[in-house]
Structure 1
């Protein structure tokens, strides 16, 4: 009884801390919106990012304090898992394995017969989902919507866009898990918060970067992400990569740079790249590399299914982004007006649906082939999308771009060949 009273007091203090941080966030947001020097500055994104982090902290800091208390008091060794509070705390913070060894699913790496078909399915699905997502992302963040009274409005609330994308992904995964009777929380929920935080920051940076750099420039930065992902995998999971993996990763990055620069008729179509755009893209690459590497480690540690990963990560993402949105004194006026525009609502719905499908395929690919091969698939997707654009709109590819295409596909073929010759290198 004494332990229940103590945990009740701790939970009440966490709620109080959440309210206090929320009040602080509202005050900081009000000061930012009333200070024209900050809002009009080229580096206003820095202040918006800091405000977002304060909003996320209204959830993260109280939960961290609660976790440290439960750990220090050995709560799970003393309290039976028989009340809804203890079950909730167990699902969020317990270090115990959620899946017994005897019920863990068989590792898919043991079945290699359909590896080629699986790889083709993942590549085709990712290419289709993120081709739609990329086009809609550029439209929503860079185009004006004509309102009924003739005024033009442009959407600029990246936080809201991240929230609706993650909310739909969570609802789809939850519905599917409930309908099939699968376990919803298959690992301590707090472990997903790390990759969830970097995931929403990387998504926010991706949307914000379109305000400072052109869309092709953003795609170019993504094409060089293979090496950062490998370095992050080495740092997080202590992965060991063969020499050929480093070489092919470097060749893929070089080939994509040559191809991207050689796939446009006029260099001016790339647009000006400001310092803010470079910083946002660098932060995006770092966060995104950590996200995929951490998810790969979770798949190996807890034998998760892709739907379980999708549900847990998006649940954490919804909690963090909703905290930042709900603590606002009032929603952005432009966003509220655009929500009454049918075309904007349709674009957001389709963007969220393609994002949810893409996330599910991402987790399936990472679970099946690892984060590095997933990054290579996404790099190839970018190359294919540009080839399709050139074929549809008649853009020419220079000789340098042609060399880049050959270099990319040769490097990927070499990597697949070496991977078949040395299957032990994948583990």
Structure 2
């Protein structure tokens, strides 16, 4: 082994997942740990999310599942904040967290609720197409102009979504236009929250742990009040008590795996940059869809495959348009085998690939 190769193998990046410092591992080892974590925890997340909705009678209680998820995320982030060393002072004003919490509730609540009316693969495909409401909103509200690559990416996503949805409506007995409405509204809220989070985190230099703790804690209060006012809280609670292990047990695993997955994705972005992060998370989403068809019996058509690939093409065109110079340089690093030689700056917001 030459001196240059030895130097490359010994290259290390600063990496901390929760309270565990993995900086002692070489960069390639850190990358493998992050990849394994993303695939492992998000595959568990998707499996248990779909499994919960397979319980007969649970379909109307998507918001109650979101309440459990928000409460558990709050507990996990509070425990992490107490155990791990770091600055525990809140930096972002509460009024900003109230807005962020509202958008987070809308994003995750509507997304969870849509699973009562849609196939899980359809939900995943829709969640990959945040660019569509962002681009439309930018044109209508801010009179923005977009380049050819952005427009092409949006067209690819739109065409892929249309054909994927048509395939779902023709073969799935559970297809519902109401589910499409729910996931579309969730997509719009998700497009807004990314900009808000990015702005306030830069302005106040807040940590990811703080953002998760306060946004989900306030969001828990929002959902709890909403469930009380609609009268669904008692009904959902009594229903879940009939199947405590199935509902609460699976919900705990669902929330824990989602929380751990979020942490690992954030570290993957921070340490290895946009190209690597998007590649890993896109592969993860594709594998999640494949596993959904394997573990949960549902009709299949090859239209799912080619329409999904069109959406993936749109996702990559969108990310490439924002980072052309960085991506071209990163591709050269990959081709030359130097991908793990140095740390790169993050070029994506955390909200761009969570779940």
- What TM-score do the two structures reach when normalised by structure 2? 0.65
* Counterpart residue number, 2:179: 277
The question of 1:196 aligning with 2:101 is answered yes
RMSD (Å), alpha carbons: 4.8
For these two proteins, the number of residue pairs brought into alignment is 304
**Quick one: distance in 1 between partners of 2:147 and 2:92?**
31
Say if 2:154 and 2:314, in contact at 8 Å, map to a contact too.
no
The question of 1:321 aligning with 2:223 is answered yes
Q: How far did residue 168 of structure 1 move?
A: 1.5
Q: Relative to structure 1, is the Cα distance of residues 399 and 281 closer, same or farther in structure 2, using a 3 angstrom cutoff? A: closer
* Counterpart residue number, 1:420: 327
The question of 1:132 aligning with 2:44 is answered yes
* Counterpart residue number, 2:199: 297
Q: How far did residue 169 of structure 1 move?
A: 1.2
Q: Relative to structure 1, is the Cα distance of residues 367 and 299 closer, same or farther in structure 2, using a 3 angstrom cutoff? A: farther
* Deviation digits for residues 75-127 of structure 1 (CA, Å, limit 9, x no counterpart): xxxxxxxxxxxxxxxxxxxxxxxxxxxxxxx9xxxxxxx99998886665444
Q: How far did residue 252 of structure 1 move?
A: 5.2
**Quick one: distance in 2 between partners of 1:233 and 1:354?**
34
* Counterpart residue number, 1:43: none
**Quick one: distance in 2 between partners of 1:140 and 1:208?**
12
Say if 1:226 and 1:376, in contact at 8 Å, map to a contact too.
no
Q: Relative to structure 1, is the Cα distance of residues 178 and 329 closer, same or farther in structure 2, using a 3 angstrom cutoff? A: same
Q: Relative to structure 1, is the Cα distance of residues 374 and 321 closer, same or farther in structure 2, using a 3 angstrom cutoff? A: farther
Q: Relative to structure 1, is the Cα distance of residues 142 and 376 closer, same or farther in structure 2, using a 3 angstrom cutoff? A: same
**Quick one: distance in 1 between partners of 2:62 and 2:83?**
32
Which protein has the larger Cα radius of gyration, Structure 1 or Structure 2?
1
Alignment of 1:25-64 (within 5 A): none
Contiguous gaps of at least 5 residues in structure 2: 1-13, 15-25, 331-344, 349-355
Q: How far did residue 228 of structure 1 move?
A: 2.6
Matching residue within 189, 205, 219 for 1:287: 189
* Counterpart residue number, 2:209: 307
**Quick one: distance in 1 between partners of 2:279 and 2:270?**
15
Q: Relative to structure 1, is the Cα distance of residues 122 and 405 closer, same or farther in structure 2, using a 3 angstrom cutoff? A: farther
Q: Relative to structure 1, is the Cα distance of residues 168 and 296 closer, same or farther in structure 2, using a 3 angstrom cutoff? A: same
**Quick one: distance in 2 between partners of 1:360 and 1:194?**
22
**Quick one: distance in 1 between partners of 2:137 and 2:33?**
26
Q: Relative to structure 1, is the Cα distance of residues 422 and 170 closer, same or farther in structure 2, using a 3 angstrom cutoff? A: same
Say if 2:129 and 2:315, in contact at 8 Å, map to a contact too.
no
Matching residue within 259, 272, 280 for 1:356: 259
Q: What secondary structure does 1:143 align onto?
A: coil
Q: How far did residue 362 of structure 1 move?
A: 5.7
* Counterpart residue number, 2:353: none
Q: How far did residue 406 of structure 1 move?
A: 7.5
Say if 1:225 and 1:289, in contact at 8 Å, map to a contact too.
yes
Q: Relative to structure 1, is the Cα distance of residues 208 and 317 closer, same or farther in structure 2, using a 3 angstrom cutoff? A: same
The question of 1:160 aligning with 2:64 is answered yes
Say if 2:117 and 2:174, in contact at 8 Å, map to a contact too.
no
Q: How far did residue 286 of structure 1 move?
A: 0.9
* Deviation digits for residues 308-342 of structure 1 (CA, Å, limit 9, x no counterpart): 22112112212222333466779424522423532
The question of 1:180 aligning with 2:79 is answered no
Q: What secondary structure does 2:60 align onto?
A: coil
Question: Which moved further from structure 2: 283-292 or 391-400?
Answer: 391-400
User: Relative CO higher for 1 or 2, CA cutoff 8 Å, sep ≥ 6?
Assistant: 2
**Quick one: distance in 1 between partners of 2:30 and 2:139?**
26
Contiguous gaps of at least 5 residues in structure 1: 1-105, 107-113, 145-152
* Counterpart residue number, 1:213: 118
